[in-house]
Each structure stands twice: as C-alpha cells, then as structure tokens.
Amino acid sequence: MRYALAIALLVAGLFVNNAWAASDKEMALEARIPMEQAIATAVQTVPGGKPYEIEMSKENGRATYKVEIVDPTKKTYKVWVDAFDGKIVQKKD
C-alpha cells in the first residue's frame, strides 16, 4: 500500500512539473517584449549597473522579466519589467 501511494505521488508530481514547464514556455512565447529589450530597460534604472541574472515570472497575473543588476559599488537591485508593454513594474534594492 505504501509503495502504491509513493508511486501515485511521484506520477502526480511529474504531471505538475510538465504543466508548469508548459506554462513557462507559453508565457515566453506570448511576451511581446524580447528579453534583450527588458534587460536594456532595467539597466537604465541603475547608473553603471550590469545585469547578472534574468528570469521570467508572473506578477499580479502578468508575465514579467525579473532582472537582477549589480552597480559599481556592488549593491544589487531587482527590476521587474512587464513582458507585454516593456514598462518597469517594480524596483527593489
């Protein structure tokens, strides 16, 4: 009985992971703003900043790029750029 439950949980986890990956791919395909443009927009908000990481996620139901930037003093910032209109959604330091 324990093995059947473990197998059922494993199979359910595989389906959830596949569904999550599909939604990430769909989100990327639906984005109107290319990643390069989102990076350029985010970097403009941090003088002398360099991007070091980017990921796509949903914020408030909208696809966004989260761009992590480091400035010359090694302070880091996170800037969210809307994947549909290219506007800054949020910035945190």
| CATH code at position 36 | 3.10.450.40
Residues 19 and 38 placed together within one structural domain of the fold: no
* Core vs surface per residue 10-41: b (16+ CB within 10 A) or e: eeeeeeeeeeeeeeeeebeeebebeeeebbeb
Q: Residue 62 is which amino acid?
A: R
pLDDT in tens, the chain (93 residues): 544 444 444 444 444 444 444 477 787 888 899 999 999 999 999 999 999 999 998 888 889 999 999 999 999 999 999 999 999 999 999
Residues 62 and 76 placed together within one structural domain of the fold: yes
| pLDDT, position 50 | 97
| pLDDT, position 84 | 94
| pLDDT, position 20 | 45
What's the predicted TM-score (pTM) here? 0.73
